[in-house]
Structure 1
Amino acid sequence: MKFNRRSVLALTAASAATTLFAPAGRSRAAAPFKQPELPYAEGALAPAISARTVGLHYGKHHAGYFKKLNTLVEKTPYADLSLEEVVVRSKKQGDTDIFNNAAQAWNHNLYWQQFKGGSAAPKGELLDAAKTSFGGPDEMQKKMVAEGDKVFGTGWVWLVKDGDKLTIVGLQDAGTPLADDKKALVGIDVWEHAYYLDYENRRPEHVAAVLSKLVNWDYVSEQFAG
């Protein structure tokens, strides 16, 4: 059976993978932490993100963070915490290796989930917030592209809920709003492994394509309102 992006995303929209990803909430499972299944086929995000990139990004990098995290937290108090709690506590206690791997595991959980269902337009309270905070959705996306280009080296650009408004922050390396108890709505990975095979050094092009073609803005609108 031949799959294209539309058919795969439609098929998986009602699948059990929905329950495996809950980046906006607080999953209670403690160690050993398990990488959620990818909620679509590796080729479902093409051409914006190729199957080869997804395979390496999800299968090697994301999986690697979970593997390393489980090794690091074994027989420590962190093993009894949820993934989200590990992120927050390790940041506060300065356990850098644990934080980096836990945060990257969590960041990528949100990253893959936000694409499930395909691109749509912000609506409801998110649309109102985009207008208030940036002048509208187009301006919001332009600011995210610009912020992503400013991140030096490796990191993430985040759309964050700030009360009834929105903020955009660029954070280096494993940086995540979760560590500051803030609600991340959209996270775009600007580590080179996320885009270099497809875009080489054209990072802004990658961020723009992800925001305009892949992010499920209906899903983001639900997260903002929730």
Structure 2
Amino acid sequence: MIKLPPLPYAYEALEPAISAETMRTHHDKHHAKYVEAVNKLAGEAGLDGRDLEAIIAGAEARKATKLLNNAGQAWNHAFFWDCMTPERGAPGGELESAIGETFGTLEGLRDAFVKEGADHFGSGWVWLACDQGRLSVLSTHDGGTLANRPQTPLLVCDLWEHAYYLDYKQDRKTFLERWFDTVANWAFAESQLEAAQGRHEPWHFRMAA
């Protein structure tokens, strides 16, 4: 079975961008429910005991949509927690150069990221990813994930209403702007870029039992 990973910081650490109330509800209720569903459905599909990436691959092969959606959500949320930090920073080094090559400036990336997320219809995720050495911004619907995909995800932000509604109501755009400006974990994104370059293994769901 898989386990719910703990947050890498305190519930209140991302305030004022994201409230402790939102983090408690998001992690302890929503993420926990996805993990619970994965364990139940994986057992029914004969995939119990595998790591989450293997469960996602198995669900895709079996066209087990309900398991795939819940497994994608479990993976995306765990990745999302690591994409945020209370230590505000800015991209540097090779990541800064890669951003410049694709988007011109950090502001150019911000504009593309916020627009992609704000314009996304319905629930889903907005990603900064690296594919064959070049950065891109894209979104996935519902439980769509970049786990086991050719692109290496560098950052993701949750577009489901439970990620922001308590703090921002329907104003997803302002949530995305504050998220990008104040809690995006650029050190993590830089590590993922190094993984995309083959310098070490990329992030994996780390709480498989």
TM-score by length of 1: 0.82
- Alignment of 1:121 with 2:93, yes or no, is no
**Partner residue of 1:149?**
118
- Alignment of 1:52 with 2:21, yes or no, is yes
Q: Give the distance between the partners of 2:99 and 2:60, measured in 1 at CA.
A: 30
- Alignment of 1:163 with 2:132, yes or no, is yes
**Partner residue of 1:99?**
68
Q: Alpha-carbon deviations, 1:101-144, whole Å to 9, x = none?
A: 11101101111112135221111221111111111221111100
- Alignment of 1:194 with 2:167, yes or no, is no
8 Å contact kept, 1:150–1:170: no
**Partner residue of 2:46?**
77
**Partner residue of 2:152?**
183
Q: From the superposition, tell whether residues 150 and 43 of structure 1 become closer, same or farther in structure 2 (CA, over 3 Å).
A: same
Q: Give the distance between the partners of 2:96 and 2:85, measured in 1 at CA.
A: 20
Among 98, 116, 132, the residue aligned to 2:101: 132
Runs of 4 or more consecutive aligned structure 1 residues displaced over 2 Å after TM superposition: 116-119, 179-182
Measure how far apart 1:91 and its partner are: 2.5
Q: Give the distance between the partners of 1:141 and 1:92, measured in 2 at CA.
A: 36
| Partner SS state of residue 34, structure 1 | coil
- For structure 2, the residue ranges without an aligned partner over 5 or more in a row are 196-209
Q: From the superposition, tell whether residues 188 and 43 of structure 1 become closer, same or farther in structure 2 (CA, over 3 Å).
A: same
The one of the two structures with greater contact order (alpha-carbon pairs below 8 A, sep at least 6) is 2
**Partner residue of 1:223?**
192
8 Å contact kept, 1:148–1:207: yes
Q: Give the distance between the partners of 1:221 and 1:135, measured in 2 at CA.
A: 17
Question: Is the helix fraction higher in 1 or 2?
Answer: 1
8 Å contact kept, 1:87–1:103: yes
Q: Give the distance between the partners of 2:148 and 2:190, measured in 1 at CA.
A: 22
- For structure 1, the residue ranges without an aligned partner over 5 or more in a row are 1-31
Q: Which moved more, 1:203-212 or 1:76-85?
A: 76-85
| Partner SS state of residue 187, structure 1 | strand
TM-score by length of 2: 0.89
8 Å contact kept, 1:91–1:99: yes
Q: Give the distance between the partners of 1:156 and 1:103, measured in 2 at CA.
A: 11
Q: Give the distance between the partners of 2:87 and 2:68, measured in 1 at CA.
A: 30
**Partner residue of 1:39?**
8
Q: Alpha-carbon deviations, 1:137-156, whole Å to 9, x = none?
A: 21111100000012111001
8 Å contact kept, 2:88–2:183: yes
Q: How many pairs are equivalent? A: 195
Among 109, 123, 127, the residue aligned to 2:78: 109
Measure how far apart 1:163 and its partner are: 1.8
Q: From the superposition, tell whether residues 74 and 196 of structure 1 become closer, same or farther in structure 2 (CA, over 3 Å).
A: same
Q: Alpha-carbon deviations, 1:55-104, whole Å to 9, x = none?
A: 10001000000011111111543113210121233124321111111110
